[in-house]
Chain A
Amino acid sequence: MEVQLSGPLRAAVGNQSVVSVEARSIRELFRTLSERYPEFTVSIANGVAVAINGNVYRDDWSTAIPENAEVVLLPRIQGG
């Protein structure tokens, strides 16, 4: 699966905007990225949201990632 990264998250994976990862859930995706790119753990601590087929998930790492899903990693932002 191709995972797109936006904004400041690209720096944590060697300034790439797309990385290939096999993962069936957000938890597995984060674990895989952290193993491959140790700096990504800092990104997770700062907050990462995951858009799966356009729906943004900010918290629940158990969320399943369907096959061929569009996955975009976004910085977790604040609201008012």
Chain B
Amino acid sequence: MTDSTSFTNQKFKVIGQRVRRQDGMDKVTGRAKYGADAVAPGQLVGVILRSPHAHAKIKKIDTSRAEKLKGVKAVITSKDLPDYTNGNRDLLSMLENCMARGRALYDGHAVAAIAAVDASTARKALKLIKVDYKILPHVTDVDAAMQEDAPVIHDWVRTIGVEPAPSKASNVSMRSEFGHGDVDAGFAKADVIIEKSYKTEQTHQGYIEPHACLASMSPDGSGELWVTTQGHFAYRNWCAQLLGLDMSKLKVTSSEIGGGFGGKTHIWMEPIALALSRKANRPVKLVMSREEVFRASGPTSSTSIDVKIGATKDGRIVAATSECRYQGGAFPGAWAVIGAMTSFACYDLENVKTVGYEVVCNRPKVAAYRAPSAPMASFATESTVDLVAEALGMDPVDFRILNAAKEGTRASYGPTYGPIGIGPTLEAVKKHPHMRAKLKKNQGRGMACGFWFNFGGQTSCTINVAADGTVNLSVGTIDVGGSRSSLSMICAEELGISYEQVRTHIGDTAALAHNDMTDGSRGTFASGMAAIIAARRTKEVLKLRAATAWEIPVEDVDWQAGYAVALGDKHSNLEPLSLADIAANTENTGGPVAGHNEFVADGAGVSFASHICDVEVDPETGSTRVIRYTVIQDAGKAIHPDYVEGQFQGGAAQGIGWALNEEYIYGEDGRLQNPGFLDYRIPVCSDLPFIDTQILEIPNPNHPYGVRGVGETSIVPPLAAVGNAVSNAVGVRMTHVPMSPPRILAALEAEA
């Protein structure tokens, strides 16, 4: 029972309440410490010199004048970052992305770095570094990069997953295929077949806090890093491996995080800060500018996708295919594979085939972005699903309900589903008042559904009981969305105490065993499960301490609503002991009281959502305004409903921005034209209506409370929901995201 992770339909007192968040006061009063807020005596300012070219050979770097400038304490290039990767290509790519090694592979690629006594000296020194480049041909478009005559970026890349294995290098690093059945036979039975091609442009996660860290290396080979990150253990491991350090000698402490959404699951300049500190023998603070964040951190893929769906007159999909071509930036990635896995995950299909192609381009190395790769695939699929429904003369919601995956459906990516929530979210859409609201002129309504996997992974936590009976929970999963409060609620629920008695902290890498990053919507799912087990173990210790104090067998003690209770008539003279009573006398009963758990939180349940969107499009300007938006998603069990709703709303807001405005724009020269929030426009509050939410709770059988991850799925449907709404408003199918005013006007003109 103590360590069981199976769903038990437990009755709750604390779970499901909307308690005050523990990090709220510090965040609204400015006391919270983010990445750039760390300080150390004698710290230097680090800055990075970046390539202005999309692709260039670095013939020579002359740092001599910069090194001589007064106040400059260290200058580094790739020569100061020897290759410790021992043939590990992924690690070497990581190192090469942090600092160019002989070639600049994209506009913004780091080529040198400086640590100086202040920012003005550091910037002055940057201008004294002379880099002799030989410009090479470049390619930034995913389809162009796949052409035979495209400049090949890496001579070592061979396409994995094709027969025969190619002997020639190309920009296609991998082909992957999923599916089952016979799609040709399926299409032969179809009464209606729709085939369409789509494009989505590259977007950035747009977190408000830029990457920032303070690095301090000691001459004895130990070091510390204070950093904004979604995974301080992963950062420690990667930085130690790249710099040739012992992992245990590098302590990484995470700051509060001002947004990550996947962009802070990778290292970008942290090894540079450590290398500068090592060379200067002083702490070095490195903070990216917004321009650097755009040019040299990790946006999501731009894509080009073909979808074909065939259905019979009675509304059944009989075959479906998709080909997903994903641009992964300057190094091989695994992004199209996720697009191929998620393309048709919402549907019950007898015949389905999806193919993904990973494509290398002269752009920044792509990073995860909230349900990475799924929104683009969903845009292509859900747009085509609407077209098929239209061709059949069916209501698009009814068409989806008829074809939705359910328990027992073999997913398009392989396994058979257990209990899932796509059907209930679609039924909820059908019943929602939003669907019956009247639309005015130039307005359109669209809906779409989406899927995400969710992960678990390695997790550890510690519960420490203080002498006054209050409790600290230390976890190693970064709190990106309020998990500290949710985890305190879980701990309080299990111990039978109040939420206010528990405080949750993020432990540093020396305080806890390894924890995976906060990605894959795993924070509350995985650390929550760890906390449940740790709390149940703590209760066992508390029962033992009460038994010791009472001098009775532990088998005669139970834990009830925060108290140790002696069972049976023979102990009826013993008053129950509260957690505080036991905590006050731990020195007499065996020492401090704590509970731990270190485990793998496997069994995360898949998640589905359906969204409804109303837009109004100005036919004169092509400008689109979202006027109403509703998110319906399965959460398994909402620990803190405010946070769950916040995740639903945040994902929808990011997806709306992606659908309508956000786009990396590259010039012919391969340089990014809009690396700033003025020219790369994310939605702000005044751009959006209140986003309505409806939480469904279909329990995950693999979590004691039934929790599923909720953080990512909500960004999957918006591209298609907005796309279907805009297409319905203007009467022209939109196939290119973002649906910015110029694209809408061009589509209208082409149709006229």
- What CA separation (Å) do A56 and B455 show in the bound complex? 9
Given contacts A51-B415, A56-B415, A79-B262, contact A7 B702 (CB under 8 A): no
- What CA separation (Å) do A63 and B603 show in the bound complex? 11
The closest CB in chain A to the CB of B414 belongs to: A72
Q: Say yes or no for B178: interface residue by CB 8 A criterion.
A: yes
Q: Could you tell me if A77 and B602 are in contact, using CB atoms closer than 8 angstroms?
A: no
Q: Closest approach, in angstroms, between the C-beta of B337 and any C-beta of chain A? A: 6
Contact partner of B341 (CB less than 8 A), chosen from A7, A11, A15, A57, is: A7
Q: Say yes or no for A22: interface residue by CB 8 A criterion.
A: no
Q: Say yes or no for B206: interface residue by CB 8 A criterion.
A: no
CB neighbours of B338 from chain A (8 A): 77-78
The closest CB in chain A to the CB of B88 belongs to: A45
Interface size on A, residues (CB 8 A): 25
Q: Could you tell me if A78 and B334 are in contact, using CB atoms closer than 8 angstroms?
A: yes
Given contacts A11-B161, A78-B334, A78-B519, contact A54 B415 (CB under 8 A): yes
Size band of the interface chain B makes with A: 35 or more
Q: Closest approach, in angstroms, between the C-beta of A69 and any C-beta of chain B? A: 11
Stretch of B363-371, B625-633, B737-745 at the chain-chain interface = B363-371
CB neighbours of A8 from chain B (8 A): 160-161, 174-176, 337
The closest CB in chain A to the CB of B519 belongs to: A79
- What CA separation (Å) do A72 and B79 show in the bound complex? 45
- What CA separation (Å) do A50 and B513 show in the bound complex? 25
- What CA separation (Å) do A77 and B453 show in the bound complex? 9
CB neighbours of A78 from chain B (8 A): 262, 265, 334, 338, 368, 372, 519-520
CB neighbours of A51 from chain B (8 A): 414-415
- What CA separation (Å) do A79 and B370 show in the bound complex? 7
A44-80: CB near B (< 8 Å → 1, else 0) gives: 0000000101111111100100000010101101111
- What CA separation (Å) do A9 and B702 show in the bound complex? 26
CB neighbours of A10 from chain B (8 A): 161, 177
- What CA separation (Å) do A78 and B372 show in the bound complex? 7
Q: Closest approach, in angstroms, between the C-beta of B165 and any C-beta of chain A? A: 8
Given contacts A78-B372, A79-B453, A80-B265, contact A7 B178 (CB under 8 A): yes
CB neighbours of A77 from chain B (8 A): 334, 337-338, 341, 372, 453
Q: Say yes or no for A32: interface residue by CB 8 A criterion.
A: no
The B642-694 residues at the A interface (CB cut-off 8 A) are none
CB neighbours of A55 from chain B (8 A): 418, 602-603, 702
- Which of B175, B370, B414, B600 has the most A CB atoms < 10 Å from its CB? B414
Contact partner of B337 (CB less than 8 A), chosen from A11, A15, A63, A75, is: A75
Contact partner of B602 (CB less than 8 A), chosen from A6, A54, A58, is: A58
Contact partner of A7 (CB less than 8 A), chosen from B176, B369, B417, is: B176
Q: Could you tell me if A56 and B265 are in contact, using CB atoms closer than 8 angstroms?
A: no
Q: Rank and list the top 3 A-B pairs by shortest CB-CB distance, nearest first.
A: A80-B262, A79-B520, A51-B415
Interface residues, chain A, with chain B CB atoms under 8 Å away: 4, 6-8, 10-11, 15, 51, 53-60, 63, 70, 72, 74-75, 77-80
- 4 more A-B contacts (CB under 8 A) besides A7-B340, A75-B337? A11-B160, A79-B371, A80-B263, A80-B519
Sample 25 A-B pairs with CB under 8 A, ordered by A number. Answer: A7-B176, A7-B337, A8-B174, A10-B177, A51-B414, A56-B453, A57-B602, A59-B457, A59-B600, A70-B416, A74-B414, A75-B334, A75-B337, A77-B338, A78-B265, A78-B368, A78-B519, A78-B520, A79-B265, A79-B712, A80-B205, A80-B265, A80-B369, A80-B371, A80-B712
